[in-house]
Structure 1
Amino acid sequence: MPSSNEIKAFIKGFYYSFPVQLFMLHLRRYQVFLIFWFILFSTVNGDFMSTFGADALFLSPEYLGEVNWLGMVIVGAATGIFCMSWNITTFILHSNQFKFLATTSKPFLKYCINNAIIPLTFIIFYIVKNVLFDIHSELLSAGRIMLLISGFLTGITITVIIAFLYFFRTEKSMMRTMEPVFRDPKAFAKQFGIGGKHFHEKGILRVEWFFNTSFKLKMPRNVSHYSQEFIDTVFKRHHFTAVISIIFAFLFLALLGMLMDKPFFIIPAAAAILLFFAILIAASGALAYWLKSWWFPVVLVIILVLNILFEKEIIDPRNKAYGINYTNRKERPVYNRDSIMQLCNIQQMEADKQHMIGILEKWKQKQTEEKPLLYIINVSGGGTRSATFTLNVMQQLDALMQGNLMNKTFIINGASGGMLGAAYYRELFRLKQQGKSINLQDKRYTENISKDLLNALFSSFVTRDLFAPAQQFETEKFKYSKDRGYAFEEQFSRNTDRILDYPLKNIISDEAEAKVPLMFFNSTITRDGRKMMISTQPVSFMMRNWPDSASGISSEADAIDFAAMFRKQDPYDLRLLSILRINATFPYVLPNVWLPSTPIIDVMDAGMRDNFGQESSLRLLNVFKEWIKNNTGGVVFIQIRDRKSGEWEDGYEDPSIGGMFTKPVMTLQNNWMKMQDYYQDEMTEYGNNSFPFSFSKITFMYTPLPKQKGAALNFHLTQTEKLDIRRSLQSAENAASFKRITSLEQRSSKDVSGEMR
């Protein structure tokens, strides 16, 4: 049994070991770099942004449309790059703390070995979590899981080998350069100042032992007889080598951005995030090393200069709506109250109303009943989970209605992901009407809409937005910069077989003739919260409530008719893909889109204003209530939503000290959708009581199965999440809703004048 002195000696030796001292050094200095590790650990563990599916991006990375070995190799390589960036940056910043390494061969390799506590812990932690995730969420076999893990380790190994080969080669080159000086004592004394300042300790860090390149314990060498000039020269040459490696990494990312139009070069989102973190660490380290205490003033000056260049429009990183005219500066519409109210004057509203009644009449002519049911579909935002659930519901509804869902639907409203799924389904129906061989019930289409979109987004952000922003593409008339907005559109277009890749003008006729349902594509104007409504038809009557001349009540416009406001900017040349992206501009994930007005306005996700589409639909019903009363058997108001209403089952978080500080900020964020629910439920109730026609609201909700946490709110779904969404159609609530649709259809065919409730 060891004595107490031996135990004390062991503890002392352990504490003053180089690995432990480096770990303690990271905790004491430049703690900002530890934030990156904290984010990675908490993300992989499912604690950071788990509701948005951040853990799935790391644990089931897709490449070329599937989770495969090569994708894991790329994630492993990105992990290796991040670890090497961490090692290089901290080696540069902390080298004055361990002077003894300058007198050893391969000092950077020794540093990496002894600095491996955090990287090695993360790699082991990632592998464990990945195996568990693949078993429970991706439903993979043991053999497949082992193959994927081998890919991850292969990627790390390749990156580390390449990095060290580079450093070994440059070190040999450095030693060949310095060898003549070492062999000549006079030259050595002259260059490195023999007799000058020397070190009288092993370094600022007290180190008793370290691991050498053979992973054997070794005592550090006393460097008191070396001059400061010599040690500084050795480290500076290694620093230069490290900086060159970072520059090569930057150039590689820029090259990758230029090649991103090829799916082969779209790396997994997790790899893109890791590369982004690696860049941030390298850039932060460079600023701290070269500028010392001047880094903050220099960064501030850079920001001010960039802001001036931005204001003068010398640089313009803002995203645009592809297809419309941004060059016609002299005829940009003025965005103020007077110009907005002019767009929705009573004469214009009446003219647009009569135009829409003409479309309603054409819709009615297609129906077989004298007074048919008028279907309105409202879909909610919610990323790919909402798009997938929406398409699943529409397929099943169409099957129940013998293929007549689109014929009986007059308009589709909504936000974000739900509109992606609805637009895709409507386009499939349109192509079928044109004679294309399409089975609307084919599950291939639900698989298409559920394909990954995040890889292209994050890859573009890291490789194109940051390092290759000068690339451009051309539409029919204009050129635009490629960024993550463009990457999103291209990936969505590939996922949906490019059937939505056309300008808005291509569908004007089909909507005007009621061959397909109308769609109102909304977004939120960040300046004042108004809706920006994009439609093929004039919709000034949707900009505000209809003025009541008897009471004198005239409301302000809370929406804008896009085509009317930007009539001189070729509004109907706007790409449908851009319209869908604008409608689904999730904050930060996708860039806000700026529009050519004076002053400039920008728009973002429709869900900020109306995540469920009901607000616009209820206004439409109010405007045309007399026509609906006289010409239909009532309205079937379908709501397809990607989340439960109420959500009492979720419970409440226990109070905490941190919660006391974050609650004022997070209350609005956490309750935004619930407040919309309260408001729209009340509006629906008012409408139901005031409409002079039968009104039936039927809701379909995505409800996760018991013991399932539910699909994440993002543009990526795991296999388990896709399966959970399909199974959700069979829930008791949704089964009852499908039954109500069947009942309404049967009663409509027998007695359209009966009560539909």
Structure 2
Amino acid sequence: MKRSMLDNFIFSFPVQLFAQYFKSHQILLIAWVLLFLFITGSSGNVMGIPYVFLDPEYLHEVSFWSFFIVGIGFGILTVSFHITGYILHANKYRFVGLLKKPFSNFSVNNSVIPLCILTLYTVAICIFQSKDEHNTGFTIFTFLAGFYLGLILITALLYGYFRLTNKNIYAYITRKLNARLKLIKLSRINILDRLSNRKKRKVTSFIGLNLRIHDTKELYQFPNKKIITRVFDQNHLNSVILVVILTGLILLMGRGIDYSIFQLPAAASLMVLFGMITMAVGALAYWTKEWLVAAFFGVYIIFNILFTTGIILDYHEAFGLNYDTVPANYTISNLYQQSTDSIIAHDKRKMIQVLNQWKQKQKTDDPVAVFVCVSGGGSRSALWAHAVLGQIDQRMKKPLMDQTVLITGASGGMVGASFYRELSYQRQLGLISDPNSDIYLDQIARDNLNPMIFNLVVNDLFLHNPRFAYAGHIYSKDRGFAFEQQLHTNTNFVMDKKLSDYGALEAQAKIPMILFGSTVMNDGRKLYISDFNTAFMNTSPRRKTGINEPIIDVIDFQRFFQNQGAKDIRYTSALRMNASFPYITPSISLPSDPTIKVMDAGVTDNFGVTDAVRFIYAFKDWLAENTSSVVLITIRDTKRVQVIEPQSHQSIFDKVSNPISSVYNNLANFQDVNNAYKLEYMKSWYPDSIHQFVLEYDMYEDYREENDHKGVSTKDSTKAKRPSLNWHLTEKEKKSLIRNVQSKSKQSTIHDLVDRLSQGGNNHHQ
């Protein structure tokens, strides 16, 4: 009976394989679904994940070679998908084992999903590079040429391996492999079982290596199942060998994490990770068959036991601290002992000495005390904070850092502020002329994501990090090390110092103080990291109890870890404790019992205002007596007033998720409201004038001004895009951030700020 065209289509090998994944192995599609969501911008926009794939950087530039490496990553993911599919599905279709090159033929027919994603990826790259990056057609062609060359090269190499190992298949099986494969009894039993107990899959046609459609009718006449089994045996063994080789090469690359040339674009690292996960899931599915779900639970239980018993340690260190000595005792009683009235008074006296040094440096008897608060937000905050500080500095008669008492904040903003402070000090020494030079703006905006993702794939996930020595101790080269090392590389190692090195300069008021206010994951307390003791930051009122104990809501890092080498901590480790980006920059574990785990300061206050207010409260009397006013400069990468979104009818998913998601999405708004209350409350206990100047990045303002300059309509403000919350910025995002500092509103605010700072000594006790 003649088959219809519809039957020919439905029962063709590519369609049957495509349906097979949706029917029995949906988990193998997760990598492709994620890739689809990322490259189309359907997910991960806030964190800038799509840009990692559409605008990959390698050696600090988007180029032919960056796309070439991403092409290799895509090829590894694709071949991993084919290998896994072949092991799982090929033995269900006996005719495959009778083909001259079974794996290659299978791959051609298994390419529906990879080809769809590849086509979509190509189109997405073209659109993004053209509309967002405004690259020429030739540049886009160069990028795509690099991508496809990498894809073709890795595919040719991997399939070349199969061609060499699979030639003269029957002679090879009968003479050499048969004896070896008998040793792998589990593999042969598994394949024979699948061939014997499964019904013959109906496939009427397949696409051959010549890309022509071939009929399977004649192939199904071959009755010898043992011969087919040997074919599958050999190909499965070769596939396993290839997987081992690929995994070994990837892990070997982890030995070179100190060298930029080995730090792959984040997109390539993620694709390699997806490929390895695909192969691992496929292997588990192959051996467990219908027990796959139970096997997943079993693997979960095993790893959970390994983590809970401490056999596998999720332990990321702060470099410079001593983890081999007796850990600090993290108990309430110990916190009380370190926060007595006498200790607080002692720390205040020491800090007042520093404040007196700062005052002696000022040119007036009643100077303006400047407090700089910078927001978190990855690389966008780092660049924004640095650019804004530079603009203020250029407009002032004296360096801004000379008039600044304290810098507080979170995450990326503190990275940018720290770099600017260091450059300002180098200007004092005559080593550089202008800390606001484009050279330094480029340095602070450089990619810091590639090495962390690469390290995650090749080292952290396999628990065999190489080691390195610092301050007489040995530490792991984990993602935290990759972050710090890349930051040093980007900034020419100018901040490669201990926290105490900066503390000595702060004590002499040669540079403003920086106070890190990290969050303790264990109980939500603040961990204040400075080279000075900071017991005075604990300003909570006393409880009405019989023993009149204070509520200890902060930890003084220097005092608490004085026996664990707090003085030796590396400055960038303190900076990293304040910038633990979820899942990317690992949270640090400190040498205490129980272990204190630290995360980003932005959890409690992403804008640094709370820390500045606490400090001002502790020294309100000194500030009122020795300064004319207090000026808070708030530098933030988000607007304070958000658009009120209308509420539409909610889906079932929204009703379930909103109670949690609304809290997360509005965390910054909650903090804004809380900070506004604290600043208003300051007026009730601070006797002199307080002024706040807010310099916030405004993507809508930049969108309007840029399009007005081009003569383009700006009515549709939804096209304005905020730079991603990431350690990677595209060129368009960098330009937007730098450009917005020059906007009319920012320049007006800076003008008012500089005018206020110049009035020191003229408005005391007003």
Cα distance per residue 1:330-377 (max 9 Å; x no partner): xx2211111112111111001111111111111011111110000000
Cα distance per residue 1:248-306 (max 9 Å; x no partner): 11101111101121100000000000000001000011111123345555555555555
CA distance in 1, matches of 2:273, 2:222: 42
- How far residue 66 of structure 1 moved from its aligned partner, in angstroms, is 0.4
Q: What is the aligned partner in structure 1 of residue 709 from structure 2?
A: none
Secondary structure at the residue paired with 2:593?
coil
CA distance in 2, matches of 1:181, 1:249: 25
Counterpart check, 1:271 vs 2:271: no
Q: CA separation of 1:466/1:513 partners in 2, compared to 1, >3 Å: closer, same or farther?
A: same
Cα distance per residue 1:463-491 (max 9 Å; x no partner): 12124624100002100111111111100
Q: What is the aligned partner in structure 2 of residue 544 from structure 1?
A: 539
Which of 735, 738, 751 is residue 750 of structure 2 equivalent to? 738
Secondary structure at the residue paired with 1:52?
coil
Secondary structure at the residue paired with 1:319?
coil
CA distance in 2, matches of 1:385, 1:664: 29
Q: What is the aligned partner in structure 1 of residue 278 from structure 2?
A: 281
Cα distance per residue 1:509-566 (max 9 Å; x no partner): 1111111100011211111011111101111011333659999986412111111100
CA distance in 1, matches of 2:495, 2:453: 23
The amino acid across from 1:273 in the alignment is L
Q: What is the aligned partner in structure 2 of residue 419 from structure 1?
A: 414
Secondary structure at the residue paired with 2:759?
helix
Counterpart check, 1:641 vs 2:652: no
Q: What is the aligned partner in structure 2 of residue 252 from structure 1?
A: 249
Counterpart check, 1:627 vs 2:593: no
Q: CA separation of 1:654/1:555 partners in 2, compared to 1, >3 Å: closer, same or farther?
A: farther
CA distance in 1, matches of 2:649, 2:609: 34
Aligned length: 736
Q: What is the aligned partner in structure 1 of residue 185 from structure 2?
A: none
Q: What is the aligned partner in structure 2 of residue 189 from structure 1?
A: none
Q: What is the aligned partner in structure 2 of residue 690 from structure 1?
A: 685
Counterpart check, 1:325 vs 2:322: yes
**Kept after mapping to 2: 8 A contact 1:372/1:752:** no
Gaps of at least 5 residues in structure 1 are 183-191
CA distance in 2, matches of 1:277, 1:386: 30
CA distance in 2, matches of 1:551, 1:481: 48
CA distance in 2, matches of 1:103, 1:237: 13
Which of 217, 221, 228 is residue 213 of structure 2 equivalent to? 217
Q: Normalising by structure 1, what TM-score? A: 0.93
Counterpart check, 1:508 vs 2:503: yes
- How far residue 69 of structure 1 moved from its aligned partner, in angstroms, is 0.6
Please report the RMSD computed on the Cα atoms of aligned residues, expressed in angstroms.
Answer: 2.6
Secondary structure at the residue paired with 1:375?
strand
The amino acid across from 2:764 in the alignment is S
Q: CA separation of 1:654/1:56 partners in 2, compared to 1, >3 Å: closer, same or farther?
A: farther
Q: Report matched runs for 1:61-460 at 5 Å.
A: 61-172=56-167, 174-178=169-173, 204-220=200-216, 221-295=218-292, 303-304=300-301, 306-307=303-304, 309-310=306-307, 313-329=310-326, 332-460=327-455
Q: CA separation of 1:489/1:154 partners in 2, compared to 1, >3 Å: closer, same or farther?
A: same
Q: CA separation of 1:385/1:166 partners in 2, compared to 1, >3 Å: closer, same or farther?
A: same
Counterpart check, 1:715 vs 2:727: yes
Secondary structure at the residue paired with 1:747?
coil
**Kept after mapping to 2: 8 A contact 1:198/1:227:** no
CA distance in 2, matches of 1:736, 1:344: 44
Q: What is the aligned partner in structure 2 of residue 585 from structure 1?
A: 580
The amino acid across from 1:670 in the alignment is N
**Kept after mapping to 2: 8 A contact 1:371/1:633:** yes
Q: CA separation of 1:280/1:55 partners in 2, compared to 1, >3 Å: closer, same or farther?
A: same
381-390 or 642-651: bigger deviation: 642-651
Secondary structure at the residue paired with 1:568?
helix
CA distance in 1, matches of 2:401, 2:33: 49
CA distance in 1, matches of 2:114, 2:99: 23
288-297 or 359-368: bigger deviation: 288-297
**Kept after mapping to 2: 8 A contact 1:272/1:458:** yes
Q: CA separation of 1:325/1:117 partners in 2, compared to 1, >3 Å: closer, same or farther?
A: same
Q: What is the aligned partner in structure 1 of residue 713 from structure 2?
A: none
Q: CA separation of 1:245/1:653 partners in 2, compared to 1, >3 Å: closer, same or farther?
A: farther
Q: CA separation of 1:582/1:654 partners in 2, compared to 1, >3 Å: closer, same or farther?
A: farther
**Kept after mapping to 2: 8 A contact 1:254/1:468:** no
**Kept after mapping to 2: 8 A contact 1:197/1:228:** no
**Matched-pair identity in %:** 33
Q: What is the aligned partner in structure 1 of residue 51 from structure 2?
A: 56
Q: Report matched runs for 1:483-562 at 5 Å.
A: 483-545=478-540, 555-562=550-557
**Kept after mapping to 2: 8 A contact 1:199/1:224:** no
Secondary structure at the residue paired with 2:632?
strand
Secondary structure at the residue paired with 1:710?
coil
Cα distance per residue 1:481-511 (max 9 Å; x no partner): 1111111110011001101111112122111
Q: CA separation of 1:202/1:31 partners in 2, compared to 1, >3 Å: closer, same or farther?
A: closer
**Kept after mapping to 1: 8 A contact 2:688/2:765:** no
Cα distance per residue 1:664-716 (max 9 Å; x no partner): 23122111111111111111111134311110011010111233211000100
Q: What is the aligned partner in structure 2 of residue 187 from structure 1?
A: none
Cα distance per residue 1:409-440 (max 9 Å; x no partner): 00000000000000001111122223323422
32-41 or 463-472: bigger deviation: 463-472
The amino acid across from 2:321 in the alignment is I
Q: CA separation of 1:527/1:452 partners in 2, compared to 1, >3 Å: closer, same or farther?
A: same
CA distance in 2, matches of 1:596, 1:107: 56
- How far residue 662 of structure 1 moved from its aligned partner, in angstroms, is 1.9
The amino acid across from 1:266 in the alignment is Q
Secondary structure at the residue paired with 1:522?
strand
Which of 476, 479, 493 is residue 481 of structure 1 equivalent to? 476
Q: What is the aligned partner in structure 2 of residue 463 from structure 1?
A: 458
- How far residue 47 of structure 1 moved from its aligned partner, in angstroms, is 1.1
**Kept after mapping to 2: 8 A contact 1:502/1:575:** yes
Q: CA separation of 1:694/1:154 partners in 2, compared to 1, >3 Å: closer, same or farther?
A: same
**Kept after mapping to 2: 8 A contact 1:378/1:612:** yes
**Kept after mapping to 2: 8 A contact 1:523/1:532:** yes
224-233 or 609-618: bigger deviation: 224-233
Q: What is the aligned partner in structure 2 of residue 753 from structure 1?
A: 764
Gaps of at least 5 residues in structure 2 are 178-187, 704-718
Q: What is the aligned partner in structure 2 of residue 188 from structure 1?
A: none
- How far residue 137 of structure 1 moved from its aligned partner, in angstroms, is 2.2
